[in-house]
Amino acid sequence: MGKKPRHTPAKTDRNDVQAFLNKVAAVPLTNRAGERGRLLFALDATASREPTWDRACHIQAEMFRETASLGGLEIQLAYYRGYDEFAATPWISNSNDLIRRMTGVSCLGGHTQIQKVLDHTLVEARKGRVNALVFVGDCVEESDDDLCHVAGKLGVLGIPVFLFQEGSEPMAEMAFRQIARLTGGAHSRFDATSPTQLRDLLKAVAVFAAGGRRALADYSRRSGGTVRRLTSQLR
């Protein structure tokens, strides 16, 4: 199991981050038979991510506002922090409600609870369709075997997990890659100095959740580069 990385994320230019979030929102999303795509967006809100979270919280809220305004997605926000604290919103398409909930979250020290994220996704999938799970985190402090066991269940249900790793902690990367493989999803690293990369990856996942693999393939051909490397991991 990996330990919490002790590093200070590099500073991000606010204008660059705002620009990539605006471009995420501008991607035209294609619904299937009039249905909204459903994207479960899960975040590590433990103390090691506080510098990034505090700087980006409002900007992330703007991303949700713009994405919701496209009408192509319903988003459920989930996060863990502190001692055994895990929370999830209902499925939300109203941007103001989502922003209020997002900006009300603050980071609190604690261990990772990634298995709870995966278990929660299974519960939601039994209630109704879930097109994809996105997870953003920086380390793993749980059993790889336990995580992979639940990931395998998501793979059977056809729910890909897209894992975005902040930083380069090697044990986390190993676990994230295994989860991605078992679910038919993908893994990518990012840091606070790579807004263009994260922009393109988030756009790709949004396109997938709303329009499926065909829409993602079309987007990948147009985008190339990082997006093509991400989508090449998909089964």
Confidence at residue 60, expressed as pLDDT on a 0 to 100 scale: 55
C-beta separation of 38 from 130 below 8 A:
yes
Residue with token string 């075997």:
145
Confidence at residue 192, expressed as pLDDT on a 0 to 100 scale: 62
Report yes or no on 58 lying in a domain: yes
Query: In order along the chain (235 residues), what is the average pLDDT of each group of 10 residues?
Result: 44 43 42 69 85 58 48 81 94 76 84 97 94 91 96 95 89 96 88 63 74 76 74 71
C-beta separation of 135 from 117 below 8 A:
yes
Confidence at residue 114, expressed as pLDDT on a 0 to 100 scale: 98
CATH code of the domain in which 108 resides? 3.40.50.410
Confidence at residue 122, expressed as pLDDT on a 0 to 100 scale: 98
- Locate 177 and state its tokens: 């890659």
For the chain, the domain total comes to 1
Report yes or no on 178 lying in a domain: yes
Report yes or no on 139 lying in a domain: yes
Report yes or no on 21 lying in a domain: no
Report yes or no on 81 lying in a domain: yes
Report yes or no on 142 lying in a domain: yes
Report yes or no on 71 lying in a domain: yes
C-beta separation of 172 from 140 below 8 A:
yes
Which range of residues forms the domain containing residue 176? 34-194
Q: Determine the Cα–Cα distance for residues 91 and 73; give it in Å rounded to an integer.
A: 10
Report yes or no on 202 lying in a domain: no
Q: Determine the Cα–Cα distance for residues 66 and 188; give it in Å rounded to an integer.
A: 24
Residue with token string 């991400």:
230
Q: Give pTM, 2 decimals.
A: 0.77
